């Protein structure tokens, strides 16, 4: 059966006809056919600088030679074993991953296929641990408004944005989940100002625990930087305070590093920037830099709450994906990616802040490393979200050969999360293009 596509429109039309209509409303008409580092080429031969890395996932760039080598090697040997047997790449990956997890003491890992699956598994593990070791169910899971944790029933319930739940109330109402106001200083839910606020949003967690939960506290689950919510960067004290509270009430801290992990913010895990230790960590995306794989890491005493048969995933220990992940970890460590990200992230943010001085449409530039958000507003005083403008700017940037994200909780944040091997020269080109595009809106 031979099927050929020659034109972008042919692919777009076919996809519209055959795929479930749940894709993004403004799916971009760019058919990726090749990629190298931060560059991608489309079906028409046009080249782009990719500033979004496939939802912030291709961390060490498209088709990194060491990842390609690992994939090819294992694609030719064996793809899959399942958890009934063993394979070498998943054993090597477990050895490497436990060494870089941001926790003290003994640690264990589990492999699955996606970020949502890693989050579901993390909550399931926490509840099993609570039942076995603390004699209660760990029912109450507290998450953040503007968070995003995935698209399954459980993870959509945990997600703090109703746009992912619209019209699906029955599948997003799993008991025990409480969503609290987020540390979003630009739009402070308490109308306070940092640092005078004393990070009240973290202290508020205690109020919620005291007055809104069953006191069968399971965990506080949070992204260190809220990605889909619009690259919301909590103040530096936030996690220390919040985690002290959750631990006082005998709960665990589950960190969602699906988007912020694997050097994206200038540390291997963003939580390290906050000097706090999670009990359980969910990972995916940058773990393989391009292949489907998720992982859960946990302190060994927590992981050991699972008993044989409690949890599994057919493709979890997939040899090819695990080999790719192993190569990614090597590249991150050997090529000092974290240091580069710190430097380039600051350079990019400084450049965008220069543009903010010129263009009133830019309400705020924020970020950690190369996880950058540019929130657009129609009026700087009222902070009216500039939603149409954000979509238009994404389109104009695409026409100029730059791929960016547009979204966030208010729909008005440009998301800039390029492959981490992007060069300073490519950043300069992107800043120049942003300058031109913003000029049109000034």
Ligand X SMILES: Cc1ncc(COP(=O)(O)O)c(C=O)c1O
Give the binding site for ligand X (CB under 6 A).
Answer: 55, 114-116, 119, 148-150, 223, 227-228, 256, 258-259, 284
| DSSP, res 365 | E
Rounded distance, CA 124 to CA 96, Å? 24
Distances (CA, A) of 404 to 28, 47, 61, 152, 334: 10, 14, 15, 26, 28
Rounded distance, CA 298 to CA 126, Å? 10
Q: What one-character-per-residue DSSP string does 17-58 give?
A: HHS-TTS-TT-----EEEEEBTEEEETTS-EEEESSHHHHT-
Closer residue to ligand X in complex, CB, 145/149: 149
SS3 206: helix
Closer residue to ligand X in complex, CB, 57/361: 57
> Considering the complex, what minimum distance in angstroms separates the CB of residue 256 from ligand X?
5
**Residue with CB nearest ligand X?**
115
> Considering the complex, what minimum distance in angstroms separates the CB of residue 59 from ligand X?
13
Closer residue to ligand X in complex, CB, 117/389: 117
> Considering the complex, what minimum distance in angstroms separates the CB of residue 274 from ligand X?
16
CB 227 within 8 A of CB 264: no
Angle at 224 (CA atoms; ends 221, 230), nearest 5 degrees: 105
| DSSP, res 255 | E
Closer residue to ligand X in complex, CB, 55/186: 55
- Six token digits for residue 311: 């949890």
Closer residue to ligand X in complex, CB, 221/422: 221
> Considering the complex, what minimum distance in angstroms separates the CB of residue 227 from ligand X?
5
> Considering the complex, what minimum distance in angstroms separates the CB of residue 189 from ligand X?
20
- Six token digits for residue 111: 């492999």
> Considering the complex, what minimum distance in angstroms separates the CB of residue 257 from ligand X?
8
Residue with the two structure tokens 């950043």 = 427
Closer residue to ligand X in complex, CB, 148/438: 148
Q: Smallest Cα–Cα separation from 141: which of 116, 176, 181, 182? A: 176
Closer residue to ligand X in complex, CB, 341/362: 341
Gyration radius of the chain over CA positions: 22
The number of C-alpha atoms within 13 Å of 64 and in the hemisphere containing its C-beta is: 26
φ, ψ for residue 410 (rounded to 5)?
-100, 5
Rounded distance, CA 141 to CA 218, Å? 5
> Considering the complex, what minimum distance in angstroms separates the CB of residue 284 from ligand X?
5
Closer residue to ligand X in complex, CB, 256/389: 256
Closer residue to ligand X in complex, CB, 324/362: 324
Rounded distance, CA 190 to CA 207, Å? 14
Cis before 3? omega within 30: no
> Considering the complex, what minimum distance in angstroms separates the CB of residue 133 from ligand X?
26
Closer residue to ligand X in complex, CB, 243/258: 258
Q: Can you say how many angstroms the Cα of residue 182 is from the centroid of all Cα atoms in its chain? A: 16
Cβ neighbors of 55 (< 8 A, separation 6 or more) are 259, 285, 405
> Considering the complex, what minimum distance in angstroms separates the CB of residue 159 from ligand X?
9
> Considering the complex, what minimum distance in angstroms separates the CB of residue 363 from ligand X?
22
């Amino acid at each position: 059966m031979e099927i050929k596509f020659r034109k972008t429109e042919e692919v777009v039309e076919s996809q519209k006809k055959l795929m479930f209509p749940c894709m993004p409303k403004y799916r971009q008409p760019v058919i990726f056919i090749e990629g190298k580092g931060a560059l991608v080429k489309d079906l028409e031969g046009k080249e782009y600088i990719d500033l979004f890395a496939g939802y912030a996932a291709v961390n060490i760039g498209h088709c990194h030679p060491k990842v390609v080598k690992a994939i090819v090697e294992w694609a030719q040997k064996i793809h899959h074993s399942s958890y009934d047997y063993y394979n070498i790449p998943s054993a090597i990956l477990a050895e490497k991953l436990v060494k870089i997890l941001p926790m003290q003491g003994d640690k264990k890992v589990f492999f699955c296929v996606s970020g949502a699956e890693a989050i579901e598994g993390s909550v399931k593990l926490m509840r099993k641990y609570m039942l076995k070791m603390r004699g209660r169910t760990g029912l109450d899971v507290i998450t953040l408004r503007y968070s995003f944790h995935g698209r399954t029933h459980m993870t959509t319930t945990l997600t703090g944005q109703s746009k992912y739940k619209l019209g699906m109330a029955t599948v997003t109402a799993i008991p025990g989940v409480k969503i609290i106001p987020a540390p979003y200083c630009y739009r402070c839910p308490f109308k306070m100002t940092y640092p005078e606020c004393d990070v009240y949003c973290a202290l508020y967690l205690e109020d919620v625990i005291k007055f809104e939960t069953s006191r069968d506290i399971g965990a506080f689950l949070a992204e260190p930087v809220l990605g889909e919510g619009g690259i919301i960067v909590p103040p530096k004290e936030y996690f220390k305070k919040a985690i002290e509270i959750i631990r006082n009430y005998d709960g665990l801290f589950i960190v969602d590093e699906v988007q912020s992990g694997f050097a994206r913010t200038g540390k291997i895990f963003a939580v390290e920037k906050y000097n706090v230790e999670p009990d359980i960590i969910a990972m995916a995306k940058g773990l393989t830099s391009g292949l489907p794989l998720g992982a859960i890491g946990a302190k060994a005493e927590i992981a050991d709450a699972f008993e044989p048969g409690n949890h599994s995933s057919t493709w979890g220990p997939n040899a090819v994906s695990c080999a790719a992940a192993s190569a990614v970890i090597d590249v991150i460590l050997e090529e000092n990616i974290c240091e580069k990200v710190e430097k380039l992230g600051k350079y990019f943010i400084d450049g965008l802040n220069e543009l903010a001085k010129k263009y009133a449409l830019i309400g705020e530039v924020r970020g950690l490393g190369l996880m950058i958000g540019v929130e657009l507003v129609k009026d700087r005083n009222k902070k009216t979200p500039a939603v149409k403008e954000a979509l238009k700017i994404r389109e104009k940037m695409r026409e100029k050969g730059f791929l960016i994200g547009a979204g966030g909780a208010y729909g008005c944040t440009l998301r800039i999360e390029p492959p981490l091997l992007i060069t300073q020269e490519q950043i300069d080109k992107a800043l120049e293009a942003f300058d031109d595009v913003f000029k049109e809106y000034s």
